[in-house]
Every structure is written in C-alpha cells, then in structure tokens.
Amino acid sequence: MENKLQYVKGNLFSCPSTHSLAHCISMDCKMGAGIAVTFKKKFGGVEELLAQQKQPGECAVLKRGDRFVYYLITKKKYNQKPTYETLRQSLEAMKAHCLENGVTRLSIPRIGCGLDRLTWDKVSVIIEDVFQYTDVAITVYSL
Ligand SMILES: NC(=O)c1ccc[n+]([C@H]2O[C@H](COP(=O)([O-])OP(=O)(O)OC[C@H]3O[C@@H](n4cnc5c(N)ncnc54)[C@H](O)[C@@H]3O)[C@@H](O)[C@H]2O)c1
C-alpha cells in the first residue's frame, strides 16, 4: 500500500495555512480538554458545528479562509471513549468531503490517541486504508 502519511515533529498549528485540519470531538461539541481547546480558541464556530447536528461516525466542518477544519464526531458525550469503528466512519465522511471539495493537503495530530486512548498503530492503519487511492496527502504532527 502506498504510504499516505508523512510525519512531522512539532505543533500542528505551525502547519501551512493552506492545509486543512482535522481532529476528534464528541457530538456535544464541548471541546473542553486536549487539542480541541486550541481548535475552539482559534476557529470558534461552536454554534455552527452544533447546527450541523452530526452523529457519531459523521464529520462536521468549518471553512476558514482557503482551508477546511474537520471535526470528526467519534462519540456522543465528551466523557465517553470512541471506538475504532466510529473513527473509521468519521474518516470516511471526511474523505467524501475532501474529494467533493478538492482538498489535497490535510494536517492532523495523532487523532484519538491522547485523551481518547486509541493506539496509533491501529489508527494509522485505518487512516491509510480510508485514504488509499485518493490524492489527499496527510501530514501527522506530534509534539
Ligand atoms: N476523553 C475525555 O475525557 C475528554 C474530555 C473533554 C475533551 N476531550 C477532547 O479529547 C477528545 C479527543 O481525543 P484525542 O485523543 O483525539 O485528542 P487529544 O488527546 O487532545 O490529542 C491527540 C494527540 O495530539 C497531541 N497534541 C496535543 N496538542 C498538539 C499540538 N498542538 N500539535 C500536535 N499534537 C498535539 C496529544 O499529545 C495527543 O497525542 C475529544 O472528545 C476532545 O473534545 C476529551
């Protein structure tokens, strides 16, 4: 399989401003802990996200300048944990949006692998699988 993922050590928010971004949140869009706090501070839009009424396994999105900011909805409430299956479904939803909107550059943290306790070995395989045969180049930032 072609390797879709490139790795960079550093802050996700230092990525080029042309890259779209993605991270995981809960359906309630609380974003009270982890990297989600910085997304909330930088991009706002909580009302706009809630209005999209996305379920676990779907993906909410904001447009900010030339980039999209994706909110992978992987669970109902902030204090729950996601499953690999809902993460995969949310990634599929994001892929569909990327393809429809010509997104070819995406930067992400190690999604699901901090507070949400999934393991990167498994998550990275899912991302590569979902995005194989697409032109979306994905850069993974880790601190
Ligand atoms: N599990 C909870 O109890 C809880 C509660 C509230 C909020 N959250 C938040 O956490 C959930 C998402 O969990 P997650 O594991 O996907 O995310 P996360 O734990 O916030 O971060 C994922 C990974 O990114 C790393 N990271 C953090 N900041 C940066 C940065 N600036 N640049 C690069 N990497 C960074 C972090 O160390 C971790 O390995 C969402 O629900 C979100 O709202 C969790």
Q: What is the DSSP string of 74-88?
A: EESSTTS---HHHHH
Query: Which amino acid is located at 126 in the chain?
Result: I
| CA distances (Å), origin 141, targets 30, 35, 56, 83, 103 | 23, 12, 24, 22, 18
- Give CA–CA dist 63/68, Å, rounded: 5
Of the residues 11, 35, 43, 106, which should be mutated to test ligand 1's pocket, given the most ligand atoms within 8 Å of the CB?
35
- Ligand 1 centroid – CA 25 distance (Å): 9
Q: Residue 4: its pLDDT value, please?
A: 82
Q: Which residues have CB under 8 Å from 8's CB, separation 6+?
A: 15, 139, 140, 141, 142
pTM: 0.97
Q: Residue 3: its pLDDT value, please?
A: 65
Q: Residue 2: its pLDDT value, please?
A: 54
Q: Select 5-142's CATH number: 3.90.550.10, 3.40.220.10, 3.90.1150.10, 3.30.200.20.
A: 3.40.220.10
Output the six-digit token pair for 32.
């009270």
Catalytic residue among 4, 54, 95, 116: 116
Residue 69 and residue 86 in contact, taking contact as beta carbons nearer than 8 Å: no
**Tens digit of each residue's pLDDT, the chain (143 residues):** 456 899 999 999 999 999 999 999 999 999 999 999 999 999 999 999 999 999 999 999 999 999 999 999 999 999 999 999 999 999 999 999 999 999 999 999 999 999 999 999 999 999 999 999 999 999 999 99
